[in-house]
Structure 1
Amino acid sequence: MSSLDEFFDNQQQHIDRFGWAVTAVLPFTGETDTHIAYTVGLTEHDVPELVIAGLEPHIAHALLNDLARRVHDHAHRLTHGQQIDDLLLGYPAVIVEGPATEALHPGAAHARYGADRVRLQQIVWPDRQGRFPWDDGYEYPGYVQPLLGRP
């Protein structure tokens, strides 16, 4: 069995057990790309996969699992522009929808379900002053948290 087959088998075990799996994509050393992580499996329940960018994998994984649990286990539906006040300690997050981009590409979800079937919602986080990437003065460069869209 190839390592790719093992990856998809392991992912399927997570989907079977929890309803989704989380996949992290790490940039190559020295690149200006960012860490991204996304869910795979929510498409099977006719809801968008979730994606987050710019956070360390263990933090992104925890946030995605928290929100995916709400969506999968409690039928909580997220909408474009929705503010979520209880995901990040002391800060709101905002949900934006949009098509996959080169920077925010859920390759494993596309491989499993087809790009035409996968819908995406991004969890967007603010800087330490509470500003979002679309706000003036956002403290991080654009490549840290690329966006699917704006609210």
Structure 2
Amino acid sequence: MPNIDDVLRRQAQIIDTIGWAVTHVLPTDDDPDTTTPFAYTVGLTAHHHPELLTAGLPTEVAHSLLNDLARRVYDTAERFTHGQRVSDLIAGYDAIIIDGSPTDDLLPGMAIARYGRHQIRLQQLVWPDQQGRFPWDIGYNLEPQAQPLIAQM
């Protein structure tokens, strides 16, 4: 298993090559039920953009969605706003971007370690349930811990 210095070096190489890296936080064998999996970018802060985050999705899906959004931000300087609907990311569904701050459940530790807590701005990609409802909508059919949020809508 690589040590933290190896992880940081590899992450720096990815950021230098691509412009950002995606980091995943997953439940551990010791604590499988207390952490909702989430993923976030590291590297966009250096280009004066918020880091992007999503929670509760399988790692491959989260990685792909964050890479798609980060590519838009990095390559074309696309800016997302709080409450913005993104209709061309998840087939058949809209997603919504929300602005917020790190929380105990969604703490982008590698980004904070690299840039400092006060330099980090976050935007979360919020995905809907199968009926297209979001966590703040009446009738949303998933438990709150399925997709913790960095802010309310």
State TM-score, norm by structure 2: 0.95
Aligned to 2:107: 105
Aligned to 2:10: 10
RMSD of the alignment, in Å? Answer: 1.0
Amino acid at match of 1:71: V
Deviation at 1:27, TM superposition (A): 1.2
Amino acid at match of 2:14: H
Partners of 1:91 and 1:150 lie apart in 2 by 20
Deviation at 1:149, TM superposition (A): 1.3
Tell me, yes or no, if structure 1 residue 149 matches structure 2 residue 120: no
Partners of 2:98 and 2:35 lie apart in 1 by 20
Corresponding pairs, count: 150
Aligned to 1:69: 71
Aligned to 1:130: 132
Deviation at 1:54, TM superposition (A): 0.3
Q: How does 1:55-94 map to 2 (within 5 A)?
A: 55-94=57-96
Structure 1 portions without partners, runs of 5+: none
- The percent identity for this pair of structures is 55
Q: Residue 52 of structure 1: SS of its match in structure 2? A: strand
Query: Are the equivalent residues in 2 in contact too, given 1:37–1:57 (CA < 8 A)?
Result: yes
Query: Are the equivalent residues in 2 in contact too, given 1:81–1:96 (CA < 8 A)?
Result: yes
Structure 2 portions without partners, runs of 5+: none
Partners of 1:131 and 1:28 lie apart in 2 by 30
Deviation at 1:136, TM superposition (A): 1.2
Aligned to 1:41: 43
Query: Are the equivalent residues in 2 in contact too, given 1:52–1:122 (CA < 8 A)?
Result: yes
